[in-house]
Amino acid sequence: MFVGKALQTYQKTNNYSCSEALIHAANDYYDLGLDEKSFKMMSAFSGGMYSDQTCGALVGASAVLGVLYSTGRAHDSELMRRLVKELVSRFDHDLGAMRCEELKSRHKTDELRCECMVKTAAAILEDLIARHPVE
């Protein structure tokens, strides 16, 4: 399952942030064919863009939906738009926030770090992809 892959990738020994863990795990699991520059790009979303803003796990999962469902232009990608909106809505509903600062105060532990957010984003992402197979 993708959730297991995401959690394995997020382990402390790999030293990945939430956004990096999601994109690396998805690249391996869904065979996205991403290159090193794509991984570097996702590193900027760590820690809510280093400002405790939007959760990196949520941003990473959204990026995966972009890779899988974008037609090349956001405005022409209706399915991608609907899936990202559902991802965001469900994530916010399940965890009660989307901002890194709020999520960390509610769900982060020293031992597990932000595992709860990674797990939630990965589970929703896995469900969305299963319900909308990529052609």
User: What range does the domain containing 8 cover?
Assistant: 2-131
| In the predicted structure, residue 18 carries a pLDDT above the cut 90 | yes
Round the average pLDDT of the chain to a whole number and report it.
97
Q: Evaluate whether 64 touches 20 at the Cβ level (below 8 Å).
A: no
pLDDT at 36: 96
Question: How many domains does one find in the chain?
Answer: 1
Weakest-pLDDT range from 58-62, 88-92, 107-111: 107-111
- Coarse DSSP helix, strand, coil percentages of the chain, rounded to the nearest 5 percent: 75, 5, 25
Say whether pLDDT at 22 is over 90: yes
- Say yes or no to pLDDT of 12 above 90: no
Q: What's the pTM value of the predicted model, to 2 decimals?
A: 0.96
Beta-ladder partners of 109: 113
Give the confidence band of 13 by pLDDT, cuts at 50, 70, 90: confident
